[in-house]
Amino acid sequence: MEKLIVANWKMNPGTQQEVIELFDAVSRGITRNLTQNNAEVVICPPFIYLPLLKGLTLGAQNVSVEPKGAFTSQVSATQLKDLGVEYVIVGHSESRKYLHETDEEISKKLKTALAAGLKPILCVGENEGEDRTEVLATQLAEGLQGLLGVIIAYEPVWAIGTDKNCDTQSVVEAAKVIKKIAGDVGVIYGGSVNAENAKQYLEVVDGLLVGGASLKPEEFINIVRSVD
């Protein structure tokens, strides 16, 4: 089965030149080494760089709740679709935290994204000390509201950008909880994924959401190469 490897560049690359160099390095590595590889690679740059990048599948890091109108600063799902974007990350823990996104808004974003023909990736996961099953149950029930066609990224918040990646057994358990609540959905893992630990997750889930390590082309290409 094809694995989904998503690069979340966040707000890290600071110039067009940096973005183009990073994208070109990743694209070259993938086309040269991975023609037989069973992976779909998705690059999620900051919004403004989306039109610069051609040749790999693109994703956005967020989307407006609203489909259109007087919503200064927002980017709609149809605008993303028109640019050729295929995926969108929804409910990332950094958007929940810094943009104060609620499960209700996240649910509306999923609906708008699906209506525009985007493939949404809903991020769920517990903070340090929280009960995993409880958090997943709430975020999935309130976020999905019965929607189908959403990919779920299990991202324990304490594992994001910390080098404290989650043990595989816990990821297996989280995936079970997710499928029990959400049905037969694709589940990917995110949280301090790197070239050393990628393979262990790929054995138990459908893909990876990669932050820090996606900014280093060689490391990211090696992560993609760990897909059989």
Q: Any catalytic annotation for residue 92?
A: yes
Name the residue with tokens 């996961």. Answer: 125
Q: In this structure, what token pair is assigned to residue 128?
A: 């340090």
Q: Which residue is nearest to ligand PGA (CB)?
A: 211
Q: How far is the CB of 192 from ligand PGA (least distance, A)?
A: 4
Outline where DSSP puts E strands in the chain.
3-8, 39-44, 57-60, 87-90, 119-124, 151-154, 187-190, 207-210
Q: Is 222 annotated as a binding residue?
A: no
Which is it for strands 207-210 and 151-154: parallel, antiparallel or unpaired?
unpaired
Say if residues 61 and 44 touch (Cβ distance below 8 Å): yes
100 is a catalytic site residue:
no
Residue 210's beta-bridge partner residues? Answer: 7
- By CB under 6 A, residue 107 contacts ligand PGA: no
Q: Which is nearer to ligand PGA, 78 or 95 (CB)?
A: 95
Give the range of 11-19, 114-122, 127-135, 184-192 binding ligand PGA by CB under 6 A.
Answer: 184-192
Of 12-20, 79-87, 129-137, 187-195, which segment contacts ligand PGA by CB under 6 A? 187-195
Among the listed residues 88, 90, 96, the one whose alpha carbon sits nearest the alpha carbon of residue 108: 90
Residue type, 102: T
Show the site string, 12-41: x = touches ligand PGA by CB under 6 A, - = not. ------------------------------
Nearer to ligand PGA, 207 or 212 (CB): 212
Q: What radius of gyration, in Å, describes the C-alpha atoms of the chain?
A: 16
Residues with active-site annotation? 92, 155
Contact footprint for ligand PGA (CB under 6 A) = 8, 155, 160-161, 190-193, 209-213
Please report, in range form, the residues annotated as the binding site for substrate.
Answer: 8-10, 161, 192, 211-212
